[in-house]
Amino acid sequence: MSEKTAPTETVPVIPHFVHGERREGASGRHSDVYHPATGSVAGRVPLASAEEIDAALASAEEGFAAWSALNPQRRGRILLRWVDLINENMDELATVLAQEHGKTFPDAKGDIQRGIEVVEFAAGAPHLLKGEFTADAGTGIDVHSIRQPLGVAVGITPFNFPAMIPLWKAGIALAAGNAFVLKPSERDPSVPVRLAELALEAGMPAGALNVVHGDKAAVDALIEDPRVKAVGFVGSTPIAQSIYAHAGRMGKRAQCFGGAKNHAVIMPDADLEMTADALVGAAFGSAGERCMAISVAVPVGAETADRLIALLRERVKDLRVGPSLEASSDFGPVVSKDAKERIEGYIAAGVEAGAELVEDGRGVVVEGHEDGFYVGATLFDRVTPEMSIYREEIFGPVLSVVRAKDYEEALTLVNEHEFGNGVAIFTRDGDAARDFSTRVDTGMVGVNVPIPVPIAYYTFGGWKASGFGDLNQHGTDGLKFYTKTKTVTTRWPSGVREGASFVMPAGS
């Protein structure tokens, strides 16, 4: 990523969106946005100054006053209108997303679709925001609870899902009555800006949803400002842990999700043809740039491993990496030149460590797109737990096969890994699947499902170094995170006066 003092005249600026209007930025600092398929600069994004962050938060406070004053059902109607507008503009959004991120057009549409499903769920918040009531909790005393919004919430979201994760966070926060300030990745920022414009068109008041671009300085300013009551983050584990600790020191709520090393355990009784198809899609879809991508396959037993490798080899060699908008591409480029170099460095490290390189994705050149950021599908066999390609998150189209002699060894591999985001088991044995689902130490589990991303009304979140905070994203956890509970105890005068009491009141 390069930083410039000012944008050039020929490259468009992707603006902030604050208080219902586009703002091109006044800091004088910009970052390049690329088309990964060609390697060319597509635009420049302004990096917000402290003054611009202050303006966005002032707008959010004003937007919160208007937005929270609407009853939950009216907010829900506006959210559903937002969904309609996103659907009406789906092709435009998916095209821009594919061009800036590198994922294929159908995959870009899936990114948006999984986001709006959570907004659809959030539109049902009136039922989920109901409090509780107890009559006669004590003599002549009633008790009730209410859920209230926090105020201004902030989302710091990653490049790999520039629509889905912003919609997950903003949709739930807005449904609960909060204002939301989104700081998306500066690598692919156009879609988040367009989503905010559509929210305004749907009927949200100016300031209810603002988008500001920036780097660490902007993130620190958002976290430290006392007007911000909650912070949501998705990205790498070191930054997730740092933001979680920083927000905690500032007395703010935080849910921060980090890296992953998702395993798939393949039992000897699994349908290996189906399993191989599932692994190829889960490992190499979106060039492996998914936090739920399968990056480690763990076949149980030598015979299972040998058969699986043969099936994977014949599938991987035929995969086509190409431009994002070309229908024949199975997956597109990675997001940046730096990402390409990092992934190829991991492949070299795996070879040097002694892993068997079955398919090598380095050095891919796409005709007519020679400067694009392409890495082909890469398959390793006989990877061991001490190797960096096993321990660390590569975030690219690299699948490592780690052979396990039995089920218990496979389960131990998953449970002893630093990350605990998602995991899958492939088997026909219900008892094995049940035991695995119960004992495995990860937040999300798939049984013959390679990417177990929960549907909108369940929660999404990892364990161990994959997640920091006690409440997950979307589902009812999201509404709990973005609201605070107030309990009200009521007694009305009855005409009987008992005088002062110096005893702690009891419940009955």
Give 131-168 as a DSSP string.
--EEEEEETTEEEEEEEEE-SEEEEE--SS-TTHHHHH
- Which one of 176, 291, 300, 379 is the catalytic residue? 291
Beta strand residue intervals within 268-404, DSSP E: 294-299, 356-359, 378-381, 398-401
Query: Distance of CA 426 to CAs 277, 329, 441, 443, 507, Å?
Result: 12, 27, 17, 17, 52
> Could you tell me how many residues make up the chain?
508
Amino acid at 502: F
Q: Which residue has the tokens 């959030």?
A: 122
Q: Which residue has the tokens 């600092």?
A: 29
Q: 287: closest CA among 32, 40, 107, 162?
A: 107
Q: Give the DSSP H or E segment for 4.
A: strand 3-4
Contacts of 406 (CB under 8 A, 6+ apart): 300, 301
Q: 262: closest CA among 466, 475, 103?
A: 466
What sign has the CA pseudo-torsion 326, 327, 329, 335?
Answer: positive
Q: Clarify whether 291 is annotated catalytic.
A: yes
Q: How buried is 406 (Cβ within 10 angstroms: 0-12 exposed, 13-18 middle, 19+ buried)?
A: exposed
CA 125 to CA 172: how far, in whole Å? 8
Residue 182, strand partner residues: 155, 211
Contacts of 414 (CB under 8 A, 6+ apart): 263, 265, 298, 423, 440, 441, 442
Catalytic residues: 291
